[in-house]
Structure 1
């Protein structure tokens, strides 16, 4: 085991964003997910849930003493959509229910067909709902876009329209986050002065998967940038690996 494994695992633990799946979510599963995210070493950075469960997640985390863990409301995951007015209404409802962040899927299919305007309009409308409260996350689905120029275009559109975070994917694809996609996203964030956060998702199942992400981030930004307000690591399996490396599952301290 590398000498830096335990410190790195502890650092990564505070960056984890647990992700619920829309197709298998229920009140019981959401409560269980929130409980998983509150460890003896502190809570994870965030819990992502379908928008309908945002209020339940916020209440559960608060009852567990994890007020600092953000509730991320996933809007129309994983397919997304282009019905801007309806999606903006769902954003409004999730914020009123207690969501701290809103996660919308960038209309990547429209971009693939040559329509960049709908992406800008969708993100702008969602940002307008978040101006008084809440941060806006835009999930790009880089595994679907694939082409570096399309990924760069999606990043710039999302950031220009007001995204507070850009995220690599909904984690529904088997394709892991590529170094190329991560580099492009971080380059676009740097172009914007480093004021937009980065959420890495897709294939992050262990500390070894996290190492290259952290390396890319620290090559681009100062060490202080590696914090939950700027960087998130999406994946529920990842949490199990980190806790195991920190000896919490084996000692019965998990949950």
Structure 2
């Protein structure tokens, strides 16, 4: 069932959907929850950029995708959500995620160590995880709501980019302050100056089309019109999906809980 909506609203919703890493990172996630997540990804507007789930459920996601007759890249998280200052452990976890079939890995930077002035441990962790991920897409989560200060957000962005990150990502979605436009502006400006292609991912608390549109407008202003594609820009979200469908005039069905 649909209702009358403007073509512009539907087009925006479709564009945003194609940029989503549809996410479920709840402690109680199981095969049934992942099956529901996979089913929700096949929408009247199209499909998201990827699924983002815990590594232990990658096999279940592959099975559910095969059963439902379509495929999507699968992302997972490592050193999550703690951002522990343990490069060897983070690299092992990243390698294990790749062995389990992850196409993309989102690893948490040791942000507390960086706040305390230890940039070397952050550099080492990114470098080791880059090597462990191999050719897989590596996104580095900065946890900007905890870094807070502009100079720390920029420093974390630079460390991640210099270490070989394919994307830099705002947040785990597990702290009090997650994605903000202020942090995104610093990150996008650092990407603009990077001298090589690097993507941006906004995660945590992005729940409406209007929220998403504000980030897209910011990316366009800083990085140029047409820059934001699935290869360069992602939203980490679950609750956003229902709002996208509603904004395009589609009845919202059984969607993942808005916990990210």
User: Do both proteins adopt the same fold according to a TM-score greater than 0.5, normalized to the shorter chain?
Assistant: yes
Residue range with higher mean Cα deviation, 215-224 or 52-61: 52-61
1:47 alignment partner, SS class: strand
Residue 97 of structure 1, aligned match among 90, 95, 100: 100
Q: What 5-or-longer segments of structure 2 have no aligned partner?
A: none
Conserved 8 A contact 1:50-1:77: no
Q: In the aligned structure 2, how far is the partner of 1:71 from the partner of 1:53?
A: 10
1:23 alignment partner, SS class: coil
Residue range with higher mean Cα deviation, 155-164 or 93-102: 93-102
Residue 57 of structure 2, aligned match among 30, 53, 67: 53
How do 1:206-217 and structure 2 match up within 5 A? Answer: 206-217=208-219
Alignment partner, residue 118 of structure 2: 115
How do 1:212-231 and structure 2 match up within 5 A? Answer: 212-231=214-233
2:234 alignment partner, SS class: strand
Alignment partner, residue 196 of structure 1: 198
1:66 alignment partner, SS class: coil
Alignment partner, residue 87 of structure 2: 84
**In the alignment, is residue 71 of structure 1 matched against residue 74 of structure 2?**
yes
Q: In the aligned structure 2, how far is the partner of 1:20 from the partner of 1:253?
A: 14
CA deviations over 1:183-232 (Å, ceiling 9, x no partner): 11001111113511100112200011112100011112233322111111
Conserved 8 A contact 1:38-1:64: no
Alignment partner, residue 35 of structure 2: 31
CA deviations over 1:88-132 (Å, ceiling 9, x no partner): 12211111211100111010000011100111100100100122x
- Number of residue pairs aligned between Structure 1 and Structure 2: 252
Q: In the aligned structure 2, how far is the partner of 1:73 from the partner of 1:36?
A: 18
RMSD: 2.0
Change (3 A) 1:106 1:4: same
Q: In the aligned structure 2, how far is the partner of 1:65 from the partner of 1:228?
A: 22
Alignment partner, residue 164 of structure 1: 166
Q: In the aligned structure 2, how far is the partner of 1:246 from the partner of 1:59?
A: 30
Alignment partner, residue 43 of structure 1: 47
- Displacement, 1:14? 0.7
Change (3 A) 1:203 1:253: closer
Q: In the aligned structure 1, how far is the partner of 2:217 from the partner of 2:69?
A: 32
**In the alignment, is residue 150 of structure 1 matched against residue 152 of structure 2?**
yes
Alignment partner, residue 129 of structure 1: 132
- Displacement, 1:2? 6.8
Q: In the aligned structure 1, how far is the partner of 2:78 from the partner of 2:200?
A: 18
Q: What 5-or-longer segments of structure 1 have no aligned partner?
A: none
1:234 alignment partner, SS class: strand
